């Protein structure tokens, strides 16, 4: 009887470990999917990325025109109306729909 109890208890512990590991893996996936690009990220600095396009230094970025932002950039990867999305220039980090960088290309 105690052997059965032991097996049952071992199985319970195993199932709890599996559940915990699955939850942790999900949390990591969600965290990396939602990591926003930091303006201080070296790649962001190199491309003069601003999370708020209206804060772009127009003197340093003559290419910038009012109204240009990630949401209307050809490289922006998100559903219409999304507040943030992917950009191939910044890997897995998300850029703000209201952001801008010097690689901005008009959406076709
Ligand atoms: Fe935004 Fe386009 Fe620059 Fe990517 S390339 S950060 S979508 S402006």
C-alpha distances out from residue 104 to 23, 70, 76, 84, 92, Å: 38, 7, 9, 15, 18
Whether 51 is in the pocket of ligand 1, judged by its Cβ within 6 Å, is no
pLDDT along the chain (108 residues), means of 10: 58 57 51 81 98 97 98 97 97 97 97
Q: What is the pLDDT of residue 34?
A: 73
Whether 71 is in the pocket of ligand 1, judged by its Cβ within 6 Å, is no
How many CB atoms are located within 10 Å of the residue 26 CB?
A: 10
User: Which residue's alpha carbon is nearest to atom 3 within ligand 1?
Assistant: 101
How remote is the CA of residue 53 from the centroid of ligand 1, in Å?
10
Q: What is the pLDDT of residue 11?
A: 62
Q: What is the pTM of this model?
A: 0.72
Which ligand 1 atom is at minimum distance from the Cα of 76?
A: 7
Q: What is the pLDDT of residue 76?
A: 98
How remote is the CA of residue 102 from the centroid of ligand 1, in Å?
8
- Please check whether residue 86 is in contact with residue 50, taking contact to mean a CB–CB distance below 8 angstroms: no
Q: What is the pLDDT of residue 87?
A: 98
């Amino acid at each position: 009887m105690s052997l059965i109890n032991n097996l049952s208890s071992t199985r319970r512990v195993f199932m709890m470990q599996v559940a915990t590991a699955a939850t942790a893996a999900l949390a990591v996936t969600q965290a990396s999917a939602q990591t926003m690009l930091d303006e201080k990220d070296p790649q962001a600095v190199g491309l003069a990325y601003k999370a708020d396009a209206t804060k772009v230094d127009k003197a340093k970025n003559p290419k910038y025109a009012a109204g240009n932002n990630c949401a209307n950039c050809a490289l922006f990867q998100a559903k219409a109306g999304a507040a943030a999305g992917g950009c191939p220039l910044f890997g897995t980090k998300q850029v703000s729909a209201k952001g801008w960088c010097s690689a901005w290309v008009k959406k076709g």
